[in-house]
A and B are shown apart, each in its own frame.
Chain A
Amino acid sequence: MVQEVIAKTKLISFEDITKTYQLDTQKVHALRGVTFDIGKGDFIAIAGPSGSGKSTLLNLLTLIDTPTKGRIRYNNVDVDTLSDNEKTLFRNKQIGIVFQSYNLIPVLNAMENVAFALQVQSVSTAESLDRAAQMLKEVGLGTHLRHRPSNLSGGQKQRVAIARALVTNPSIVIADEPTAALDTKTGMEILDLMKELNEHKRTTFVFSTHDVRIINSVDHVIQIEDGRLIN
Chain B
Amino acid sequence: MNYFQFAIRNIMRYKKRSIVTIMTVSLGFTALGVLGGFLNNIFSRLKGQAIVAERLGHLTFAKSGFKENGKLEPEKYLWNKKELTDILGVLRNDPSVDLATPRLRMFGVTSNGKASTIFITEAIVSADDQKLIKTNVDGRTEVDGLITLNSKKGESSDVIIGSELASMMKIGKGQNITLLTSTKDGIANALDVKVVESYNTGNPATNDKFVLSDFSMAQDLYDTDGAERVVVTLKEPDKIKETKEVLLAKLKSAGYQLEATTWEDQSASYKKVTTLFGVIFRVLTIIISVIVLLTVTNTMQMVVTERTKEIGTMRAIGMLKNQVIKLFCTEGLIMGILGCLAAAPVLLIISTILRVSKITFTPPVASVPVPLVMITNPVNIVVIFLLFCVVAVVSSFLVSRKIANQLVVDSLMQSN
Contacts and interface: CB of A to CB of B under 8 A. Distances in A.
A115 B2 CA distance: 11
A104 B317 CA distance: 11
Contacts of B323: 120
Interface in B1-40: 1-2, 6, 9-10, 12-13
A117 to B, nearest CB: 5
B320 A103 contact: no
Most chain A CB atoms below 10 A, which of B6, B313, B319, B321? B313
A121 B318 contact: yes
Contacts of A116: 1, 314, 317
Contact of B318 (A84, A92, A99, A108): A92
Nearest to B3: A119
Contacts of A107: 6, 9-10, 12-13
Interface string A83-99: 01100110111000101
A64 B409 contact: yes
Contacts of B6: 107-108
Given A106-B13, A107-B13, A97 B1 contact: no
Contacts, number: 68
B168 interface: no
B412 interface: yes
Main SS at interface, chain B: helix
Given A107-B6, A107-B13, A120-B323, A92 B317 contact: yes
A84 B405 CA distance: 10
B321 A64 contact: no
A53 to B, nearest CB: 14
A91 B318 contact: yes
A105 B316 CA distance: 13
Contacts of B383: none
Contacts of B12: 107
B315 interface: yes
Contacts of B320: 85, 88-89, 120
A103 B318 CA distance: 14
A116 B9 CA distance: 14
Nearest to A92: B318
Contacts of B312: 64
A164 B408 CA distance: 18
Interface residues of B, number: 24
A65 interface: yes
A108 B5 CA distance: 10
B103 interface: no
A9 interface: no
A84 B407 CA distance: 10
A97 B409 contact: no
B335 to A, nearest CB: 16
Given A84-B321, A103-B310, A64 B1 contact: no
A164 B317 contact: yes
Given A64-B408, A65-B409, A89 B309 contact: no
Contacts of B407: 64-65
A42 interface: no
Contact of B313 (A105, A125, A168): A105
Contacts of B319: 88, 120
A125 B323 CA distance: 16
B318 A62 contact: no
Given A65-B409, A120-B323, A105 B318 contact: no
Contacts of A168: 318
Contacts of A117: 317-318
B1 A120 contact: no
A28 B409 CA distance: 16
A115 B9 CA distance: 16
Contacts of A112: 1
Contacts of B408: 64-65
A59 interface: yes
A92 to B, nearest CB: 2
A30 to B, nearest CB: 11
Interface string B65-96: 00000000000000000000000000000000
A97 B321 contact: no
A59 B1 contact: no
A107 B303 CA distance: 14
A125 B5 CA distance: 12
A44 B316 CA distance: 21
B13 A120 contact: no
Given A92-B317, A108-B6, 11 more contacts: A65-B409, A85-B320, A85-B321, A88-B320, A89-B318, A91-B318, A105-B310, A107-B12, A116-B317, A120-B317, A121-B318
Interface of B: 1-2, 6, 9-10, 12-13, 309-310, 312-321, 323, 407-409, 412
Interface of A: 59, 62, 64-65, 84-85, 88-89, 91-93, 97, 99, 103, 105-108, 112, 115-117, 119-121, 125, 164, 168
- Please give me the 6 A-B residue pairs with the lowest Cβ-Cβ distance, nearest first: A92-B318, A107-B9, A64-B408, A103-B313, A65-B409, A64-B409
30 contacts: A59-B409, A62-B316, A64-B312, A64-B316, A64-B408, A64-B409, A65-B407, A84-B321, A85-B321, A88-B318, A88-B320, A91-B316, A91-B317, A91-B318, A92-B318, A93-B318, A97-B317, A99-B313, A103-B313, A105-B314, A107-B6, A107-B10, A108-B6, A108-B9, A116-B317, A117-B318, A119-B1, A120-B318, A120-B319, A121-B318
